[in-house]
Chain A
Amino acid sequence: EPEVTQTPSHQVTQMGQEVILRCVPISNHLYFYWYRQILGQKVEFLVSFYNNEISEKSEIFDDQFSVERPDGSNFTLKIRSTKLEDSAMYFCASSESDEQFFGPGTRLTVL
């Protein structure tokens, strides 16, 4: 069964450093998403991406964040200058319509 994959599974970085989280969505899906979940809190929407552009973003998704689909398979989330409060699980999801399927997540730890 096709699934969303994410790398790395765990990323540790120093405050102020740039990180890139990678995702490979399900191959026939056209809509891509990033969510984050701070420990013990809700899953929070960050951004949706369709037809090579951002279709919607939340107030969390400020200028420090960017997304890209650099080729036909990968979908990336870049955080330019990480803060302590960026420590969270980051989930990528993809959908063919409105049912979204999540990847296993990347645990980001900012020290």
Chain B
Amino acid sequence: QKEVEQNSGPLSVPEGAIASLNCTYSDRGSQSFFWYRQYSGKSPELIMSIYSNGDKEDGRFTAQLNKASQYVSLLIRDSQPSDSATYLCAVNTGGYQKVTFGIGTKLQVIP
């Protein structure tokens, strides 16, 4: 069973701080990694994808990948109350066929 593990939270950070969200995965063959944001009652919204070791930045978001440690993270700089949502880590194996999601980490940004 290929697993994706996340701490469900909630993770509370003050407005303007850096939020750090973490994820581990079990399948060493995984090649593609994604972060989705899901507001309560809504569908997952793709934030970022990352494929190679290191950092990838997009605006206030930075994804980090370490395949040796089977670890993916998402940093959100200058956190805003509108960032309050559940952040889903997702891992793709075997081409485009299947993505396995973690339970998601609930982020609360306190004004």
Contact = CB atoms under 8 A, between A and B. Distances in A.
Contacts of A14: none
Interface residues of B, number: 23
A56 interface: yes
B49 A42 contact: no
A45 B96 contact: no
A41 to B, nearest CB: 8
B40 to A, nearest CB: 11
Interface string A14-35: 0000000000000000010100
Interface size bracket, A side: 20 to 34
Interface in A28-84: 31, 33, 41-45, 48, 50, 55-56, 58
Interface of B: 32, 34, 36, 42-46, 49, 88, 90, 92, 94-104
